[in-house]
Structure 1
Amino acid sequence: MNFKVCVPVGLLALSAALFACQQPAPKETKEAASPSAALQAPYSQVFYDSLGTALQSYYRLSDALVQADSNAANAAAVTLKAHVDSLPLNLLQMDSSHLSNITGITGSVSAELTGLTGEAGLEGKRASFQMVSDMLFDLVKNTGLKGHTIYHQYCPMAFDDKGAYWLSDKAAIQNPYFGHKMLTCGETTDSLTYK
């Protein structure tokens, strides 16, 4: 391929990548991004304190992936797994089918975190992180998290433009799927605020 063909093709690829980062989240989640009133978090404060501690470990895992620090990601995943495994689910006063769903989510998060620490490369860890993020979002939507706001954020370019979500305790974008390569690529698609 000669130079006259390479330059336009390269510019086209670069502009496509930059344009993709500006693409909105999938339509069904974009509608949920509008601000809403505080949601109810009806369960025990002891449970919420434990869940809040688990989410702090999740945020440390996300930060480690932003920094592309595999060792810190493993350490945060181990800590997060310990917190998820020790959530006092017995304090959730809900019907047995709902509690069974919550127990299934926490078991799946725990298993995926074990898988994350076994991944040798950052890409494998980030793929596991995506699944953990989705499951933790489901957990919080089912139980609430009293006194906290959780931002559901989305990167359209993650995993070869398939897109991926993550959770944050702040509205500013710090992309764990690309780190410093594309640190602010993404958007907040939803936020959950509980009282």
Structure 2
Amino acid sequence: MHRMRIKQYLWIIAAGAVFTACQQGGKENTGTDSAAAANTLQAPFTDEYYDSLKVAMAAYYQLSSALVKGDTMGADIAAMALKYHMDSLPIARLGIDSSRAADLAVSTGSISAELAGLIIEKGGLDSRRSSFQMVSDQLYDLLQTTGFKGRTVYRQHCPMAFNNRGAHWLSDTTEVVNPYFGDEMLHCGSVTDTLQFQ
């Protein structure tokens, strides 16, 4: 009986530590967000490109939502759609020099390759979330490079993901809905950057 109470006590302490770490990591830096929101970034490319990017980002948000729900089939479907749309971005028609176009093609190709791995490997929810982390980081870099006309994208961070290594994802809202833990810690995280494009 005494041993059971000790186990319960230790479990409560562990749960409290996880909650505290999440809360500390989950505090938004409102000063940074306000400053970022005040600096509207340029989106210099054609409407054709941004229309295609809009469809790709919709698939990305569906992928994130499927991971929040722990829906592996939904994640695979969204990843296939995102891969298709990344492969279809009209980079060749952007009217930029060949060196810059090649850099963008490498960037979108890396995202596409990571998505292909997510779809093919079928390694379970953790594997899909790991690939999603890579896609999120690469997509963030792409958005900073090309812009996303008339849109605001929030980069969010969970400090507890992947054994406390932490991981980012992108959202079209400031509400934190964690794709790395889902129901376990649905609102664990914070907005760490705001990309607001003209």
Normalising by the residue count of structure 2, what TM-score does the alignment of the two structures yield? 0.90
Query: SS state of the match for residue 65, structure 2?
Result: helix
Q: Report the Cα distance in structure 2 between the residues aligned to 1:110 and 1:47, rounded to whole angstroms.
A: 17
Q: Report the Cα distance in structure 2 between the residues aligned to 1:156 and 1:131, rounded to whole angstroms.
A: 16
Q: Unpaired segments of 5 or more residues in structure 2?
A: none
Cα offset, 1:152, TM superposition: 0.4
Query: SS state of the match for residue 65, structure 1?
Result: helix
Is 1:117 the counterpart of 2:119? The answer is yes
More helix by share: 2
Contact 1:174 1:183 in 2 (8 A): yes
Counterpart for residue 87 of structure 1: 89
Q: Report the Cα distance in structure 2 between the residues aligned to 1:66 and 1:152, rounded to whole angstroms.
A: 16
The amino acid of 2:156's aligned partner reads Q
Q: Which moved more, 1:111-120 or 1:156-165?
A: 111-120
Q: Report the Cα distance in structure 1 between the residues aligned to 2:143 and 2:87, rounded to whole angstroms.
A: 15
Q: Report the Cα distance in structure 2 between the residues aligned to 1:12 and 1:95, rounded to whole angstroms.
A: 58
Q: CA RMSD in A?
A: 1.9
Moved over 4 A (4+): 29-32
Query: SS state of the match for residue 151, structure 1?
Result: strand
- Go from structure 1 to structure 2 and tell me whether the alpha carbon gap of 1:23 and 1:97 turns closer, same or farther (over 3 Å shift): farther
**1:31-68 superposed Cα distances (whole Å, 9 cap, x missing partner):** 75333232111111100110111000000000111111
Q: How does 1:86-165 map to 2 (within 5 A)?
A: 86-118=88-120, 119-165=122-168
User: What is the percentage of aligned positions where both structures have the same residue?
Assistant: 46
Cα offset, 1:96, TM superposition: 3.8
Contact 1:30 1:190 in 2 (8 A): no
Contact 1:155 1:175 in 2 (8 A): yes
Query: SS state of the match for residue 167, structure 1?
Result: strand
Q: Which moved more, 1:145-154 or 1:5-14?
A: 5-14
The amino acid of 2:4's aligned partner reads F
Normalising by the residue count of structure 1, what TM-score does the alignment of the two structures yield? 0.91
Q: Report the Cα distance in structure 2 between the residues aligned to 1:166 and 1:30, rounded to whole angstroms.
A: 18
Cα offset, 1:129, TM superposition: 0.3
Counterpart for residue 69 of structure 2: 67
- Go from structure 1 to structure 2 and tell me whether the alpha carbon gap of 1:32 and 1:139 turns closer, same or farther (over 3 Å shift): farther
The amino acid of 1:76's aligned partner reads A
Is 1:44 the counterpart of 2:40? The answer is no
Cα offset, 1:15, TM superposition: 1.2
Contact 1:149 1:169 in 2 (8 A): yes
Is 1:2 the counterpart of 2:3? The answer is yes
Q: Report the Cα distance in structure 2 between the residues aligned to 1:32 and 1:56, rounded to whole angstroms.
A: 26
Q: Report the Cα distance in structure 2 between the residues aligned to 1:77 and 1:157, rounded to whole angstroms.
A: 24
The amino acid of 1:181's aligned partner reads E
